[in-house]
Amino acid sequence: MAKPFFRLQKFLRRTQFLLFFLTAAYLMTGSLLLLQRARVGLPPPGPRAPGPLQALPVAAVALGVGLLDSRALHDPRVSPELLLSVDVLQGPLDRPRPGPRWLRSRNSELRQLRRHWFHHFMGDPQGPPALGPEAPRPAASSRGTYMGCFSDDGQERTLKGAVFFDLRKMTISHCQDACAERSYIYAGLEAGAECYCGNRLPAVSVGPEECNHECKGEKRSVCGGAGRLSVYRVEELQPGSRKRRTVTYRGCFRLPENVTHAFRDSLVQANMTVETCSGFCSQKEFPLAILRGWECYCAYPTPQFNLRDAVDASLCGQEPEAQRLAEYCEVYQTPVQDTRCTDRRFLPTKSKVFVALSSFPGAGNTWARHLIEHATGFYTGSYYFDGTLYNKGFKGEKDHWRSRRTICVKTHESGRREIEMFDSAILLIRNPYRSLVAEFNRKCAGHLGYAADRNWKSKEWPDFVNSYASWWSSHVLDWLRYGKRLLVVHYEELQRSLVPTLREMVAFLNVSVSEERLLCVENNKEGSFRRRGRRPHDPELFTPEMKDLINGYIRTVDQALRDHNWAGLPQEYVPR
C-alpha cells in the first residue's frame, strides 16, 4: 500500500513543479508580447495625423493607466503637465443614459482618452521638441518676411489681435493666413503652437537662438519659444486660404458732441473712400472706421458712442461737402479685433468660491464662456477636456477643473453629488427645441458644422430626441433643487440684452469691470464658435409626438422656476 501512495506523492510533486513552470513561462511570454505590441503601436516621432481624440490637449491621465501611484503626485521629478488631469478619473462621471449605440457615453470617451494619452505619453516623453542652434530659419515656403525673435514676457502683449492655438498642426503659413485674413501686418508664433497677430512689432528683440521650438505641424521650422515670438511680416494670403475679411456697414449715427475726444485718430483727404478709411483705421488697430464727407475717424465703441441708436440711412446719403457739415456719420466695422478686452489670464490666487457655469449641451455654454472671459479678463475652466476649444483660445480648457485658477467651470452634469461640489452656479437655460438641434449638429459634425440630411432623416434623430429631451428637464430641476446659490440666465435674454445681462453675470462672479470693456465684449460678441452657412435640413424637424414630449417638459421646468421664486421661461418657450 505504501508503494502506490509514494508513487502518487511523487507524481503530484512533479505536476506541481510542472504547473509552476508553465505558469511562469506563460506570464513571461505574455509580457514579451505586450512589450512588442507597445513598440509596434507607438507612433513615429514628428507630427502625426490627428484623430478625433488626438486634438485634445490633455496631459497623460497617469492614474487611469497605472503609470503613477499616489506617492508620485508629490515627486518633484514628475512633470506637472503629466499630473494635470489625474483627478478627472476620480471625479464623478456622467450617469449612463438610455439611447442607441451611436450615442457614446462619457465613460467610453474617457476610456478612449486614457488609452490615447497613454500612447501619447509613451511616445513623446520629452514634451515639445526644441531645435538646436544649427536648426534652419523658418521654412522657405512661407511668403512672409521673417522679422526676428522677440520677447513676449511683458504683462501687455504687443501682438494681441486674433489669437489661436493648435497643439497638433500649427504651421507658419497657417498663422500668417489667420492674421492676413483679419488685415493684420504681423504674425507671431510662440511655443510651437500659439499664434498672435498685430500691427506693431514687439519692443524687445532677443537672440535668434532663444526661438528654439519646432512648429507642431511643420518639422524643422521655428515657431518661437517659451515667452518668445518668431515674428513675420504678412505679405499676402496663401493660395487656397480663406479670403481676407472685408468691412461691415454698421449704420448711420449721430456724431457725439466732442468729436476729437470721442474719436482717437483721424485722416482728412479729398475723395475719401470707405476702403481708404477702413485701411487707415485697420493699420491703427481700431475696430471702427467712421466716415463723414472727406473726413475719416477711427474709434472704439464707448458709452458716448455705443452704436445702439442708429438713425435713417438717408441722413448720411448726402454729397460729401453737405455731409461734412451735417451731424451724422457712416460707421463701418474693420476686420481687426477690438483688443481692449482680449487680455486674459488665470486667477492670481486660488478662488475661494467654486463657481459652475452649468447648462444642458447645446445651450450656448461655449458662447457664454467667451463673453465671461472677455468681460472679466480671466479664463474659464471645464469639467471636460476639448482640444478644439483649447485651439480656439480657451486656455483654461487644459487646466484641471478643480484647480480653482479659473473664474468659473463649465459643466453639463446633474445629480446631487455633482452639483453640491460647487459653491454657486450660473444656470444657463435655452429653448429645448434649439438646444436639441444645436447638440445634434455638434454630435454629428463638430462645433462649427451641420449634421447631414441623412442624419436628420435616419433613426438617429428621433432616438436622440427621446433620449435627450428628458435630460434637458432633469438638468434644470436638479440644479434648482440642489444648487446652493444660483443665477438663472436665459440664453435668449443674453442675446437680446447682452450688456445688461452680462453685467449681472459678472457681478455674480464678484468681478468689477468698466463699461468700455463690456462694450468691447459686445463688439466681439460672436467669437469663433458661430455656425456659418446654409442649414442642410428641412425647417420642420420635430414630429407631433416629439412636440408633445418636449412641451410637457417645458411646462414642468416653467412651473419649477416659479416655485423657486424665479421668473418663468421666456415667452418663446411656450408650447407651439
Q: Is residue 34 a part of any domain in this protein?
A: no
Q: Which residue has the higher pLDDT, 72 or 557?
A: 557
pLDDT attached to residue 321: 63
The lowest-confidence range among 10-19, 85-94, 203-212, 544-553 is 85-94
170 and 204 both lie in a single domain: yes
Q: What is the pLDDT of residues 346-361, one digit of tens each?
A: 999 999 999 999 999 9
Q: Which helix (H) or strand (E) holds 292?
A: strand 288-292
Backbone φ and ψ for 304, nearest 5 degrees, come out as: -80, -20
On the 0-12 / 13-18 / 19+ scale of CB atoms within 10 A, 421 is: middle
Is residue 211 pLDDT above 70, yes or no? yes
181 and 261 both lie in a single domain: no
Mark which of 203, 234, 265 sits at the end of a domain.
234
Mark which of 180, 207, 234 sits at the end of a domain.
234
Residue % of the chain over a pLDDT of 90: 37
Q: Is residue 256 a part of any domain in this protein?
A: yes
314 and 216 both lie in a single domain: no
On the 0-12 / 13-18 / 19+ scale of CB atoms within 10 A, 169 is: middle
438 and 553 both lie in a single domain: yes
The lowest-confidence range among 56-70, 421-435, 553-567 is 56-70
Which residue has cell 501687455?
156
pLDDT attached to residue 67: 32
453 and 567 both lie in a single domain: yes
Is residue 19 pLDDT above 50, yes or no? yes
Mean pLDDT of 149-175: 79
Q: In angstroms, rounded to a whole number, what is the distance separating the alpha carbons of residues 135 and 222?
A: 8
Helix, strand, or coil here: 328?
Answer: strand
Q: Is residue 349 a part of any domain in this protein?
A: no
Q: In angstroms, rounded to a whole number, what is the distance separating the alpha carbons of residues 59 and 82?
A: 5
Residue type, 308: R
Mean pLDDT of 515-524: 91
322 and 264 both lie in a single domain: yes
Q: Is residue 338 a part of any domain in this protein?
A: no
Q: Which of 209-213, 226-230, 244-248, 418-422 has the highest mean pLDDT?
A: 418-422
379 and 447 both lie in a single domain: yes
Q: Is residue 437 a part of any domain in this protein?
A: yes
362 and 499 both lie in a single domain: yes
Is residue 475 pLDDT above 70, yes or no? yes
Residues 6+ apart with CB under 8 A from 243: 181, 237
419 and 503 both lie in a single domain: yes
266 and 411 both lie in a single domain: no
Find the DSSP H helices in 383-490: 387-391, 416-420, 432-445, 453-457, 460-482
Whole-model pTM: value is 0.70
Q: Is residue 25 a part of any domain in this protein?
A: no
CB distance 160 to 186 below 8 Å: no
Q: Which residue has the higher pLDDT, 126 or 280?
A: 280
CB distance 68 to 89 below 8 Å: no
Q: In angstroms, rounded to a whole number, what is the distance separating the alpha carbons of residues 288 and 331?
A: 7
Q: In angstroms, rounded to a whole number, what is the distance separating the alpha carbons of residues 361 and 437?
A: 10
Q: Rounded to the nearest 5 degrees, what angle is found at the Cα of 555, between the Cα atoms of 551 and 559? A: 165
362 and 313 both lie in a single domain: no
pLDDT attached to residue 518: 94
- First-last CA distance in the chain: 94
Q: In angstroms, rounded to a whole number, what is the distance separating the alpha carbons of residues 89 and 482?
A: 23
Q: Rounded to the nearest 5 degrees, what angle is found at the Cα of 164, between the Cα atoms of 163 and 166? A: 155
Mark which of 211, 234, 257 sits at the end of a domain.
234
Q: In angstroms, rounded to a whole number, what is the distance separating the alpha carbons of residues 83 and 61?
A: 7
Distances (CA, A) of 32 to 23, 68, 378: 14, 22, 49
Closest of 159, 235, 160 to residue 202, by C-alpha: 159
Q: How many domains does the chain have?
A: 3
How remote is the C-alpha of 558 from its chain's centroid? 31
Q: Residue 457 sits in a domain of what CATH number?
A: 3.40.50.300
Range of the domain at 430: 355-530+541-573
Residue type, 51: G
Q: In angstroms, rounded to a whole number, what is the distance separating the alpha carbons of residues 297 and 334?
A: 12
387 and 325 both lie in a single domain: no
Q: Which of 49-53, 139-143, 383-387 has the highest mean pLDDT?
A: 383-387
Backbone φ and ψ for 158, nearest 5 degrees, come out as: -85, -45
